[in-house]
Amino acid sequence: MERNRHDDIQKRVEHTMEQLGKERYQPNPFLHTRIKAQLAQEPVPPSFSLRWALQPTLVGCLLLLNSLVVWNYWQQQNTDFSMAEEYGWTEASAEDYLLLPDLGLEE
């Protein structure tokens, strides 16, 4: 029974292998028209020159944005420091920390 099944499968495999390449593409006489329609319909993908022009512009924009962020940060740091100097916040005094002098009152 098992032997018969095996033989049957092998026959089908060989028959299928013989069919390889027998069925071919059937040409379409209207293919020209379809190709022309597709060419007219689809937008042409951007050419390499346009892509090459767009890439540096994009990189330039990113660099500019980065520079602006750094510049902004640096400006803010500088302003904070000037204000501290102006109001005398750069040096802490004993008063600031409420440190009273030792009067020798403790036993």
Partner 1 sequence: MTEALLIDGLRKGDERAFVHLVDQYQQVVGNTCFGFVQNQVEAEELTQDVFVEVFRSIEKFQGQSKLSTWLYRIAVNKSLNQVAKRKQKRRLQTVSHFFGFGEAAEAREFKDTIHRQPEEELEQAEIRVALRTALNKLPEQQRTAFVLRKYDDLSYTEIARIMDTSVAAVESLIHRASRNMRKKLTHFYQQYQ
d(CA 74, CA 82): 13
Q: Is 106 helix (H, G, I), strand (E, B) or coil?
A: coil
73 in the Ramachandran plot: left (φ > 0), alpha (ψ -120 to 50) or beta?
alpha
Q: Residue 57, interface with partner 1 (CB under 8 A)?
A: no
24 part of the interface to partner 1, by CB under 8 A: yes
Least gap, CB of 55 to partner 1 (angstroms): 20
Q: Please tell me whether residue 3 binds partner 1 under the rule CB under 8 A.
A: no
Q: How far is residue 87's CA from residue 85's CA, in Å, rounded to a whole number?
A: 6
Residues near partner 1 (CB under 8 A), total: 27
Give the residues lining the site for partner 1 (CB under 8 A): 5, 8-10, 12-13, 15-17, 19-21, 23-28, 31-32, 34-35, 38-39, 42, 44-45
